[in-house]
Amino acid sequence: MRNVDLDFLGNAPRIWAVERTVAAPRTAVWNAFSDPTTWGHWWPGVASASYGDSPKPYGIGTFREATVGGQRYEEYIVAWDAGRRFAYYIDRATVPIAKTQLECTELFDDAAGTRVRWTIACEPRLMLRAVSPFFRGIMDRMLGRALANLEVFVRRGATPPSPPGSAAVKTTAAARESAR
């Protein structure tokens, strides 16, 4: 896959954006989004995610890896505005759905909590072109489920993840199910 910068958000062949509001303060939402070790507790399909061997502090140029829906992704951060925005391009994927893909998440204060805007800009491959008419709806449902789970996660105290198979993980999974 091809590396890109934020300019790709304005000139990508395909751009989809969805927005949802989560009843949680922006700081808590940022902390969850910027800590990939928590994603498995609230983002559907995340089996694992981390910054790998990237040194702290995390920011522009940081490597991140994730396994979501059985697919492995390797990503590089291209924007990091603490508390407000981060963006990354996907460098490698088990089954790439695009020749180039940049994702940007932006957070805004909202009377009801935090408004989250998730944008995917890409040069789609055949598989993604085939579902393009439905892709925005898929993103919207995915973000809606994730933010409903995130509300529960934040309400429970947003504690660091427990080892797999522990009671805390099972409790969080049960909370996730009840949030759906």
Domain-located, residue 1? no
| Per-residue confidence band for 161, with pLDDT thresholds at 50, 70 and 90 | very low
Q: Convert the pLDDT of each residue in 98-134 to its tens digit.
A: 999 999 999 999 999 999 999 999 999 988 889 888 9
Domain-located, residue 77? yes
The tally of domains found in the chain comes to 1
In this prediction, residue 1 carries a pLDDT of: 87
The whole-model pTM stands at: 0.84
Q: Say if CB 46 and CB 33 are below 8 A apart.
A: no
Domain-located, residue 2? no
Q: What range defines the domain where residue 146 resides? A: 8-179
Domain-located, residue 24? yes
| Per-residue confidence band for 176, with pLDDT thresholds at 50, 70 and 90 | very low
Domain-located, residue 3? no
Q: Convert the pLDDT of each residue in 69-79 to its tens digit.
A: 999 999 999 99
- For the chain, give the percent of residues with pLDDT over 90: 76
d(CA 72, CA 93): 6
Domain-located, residue 19? yes
Q: Is the pLDDT of residue 173 over 60?
A: no
Domain CATH number, residue 59: 3.30.530.20
Mean pLDDT of the chain, nearest integer = 88
Using N-to-C axis directions, what is the helix angle for 26-34 and 126-155, rounded to 10°? 130
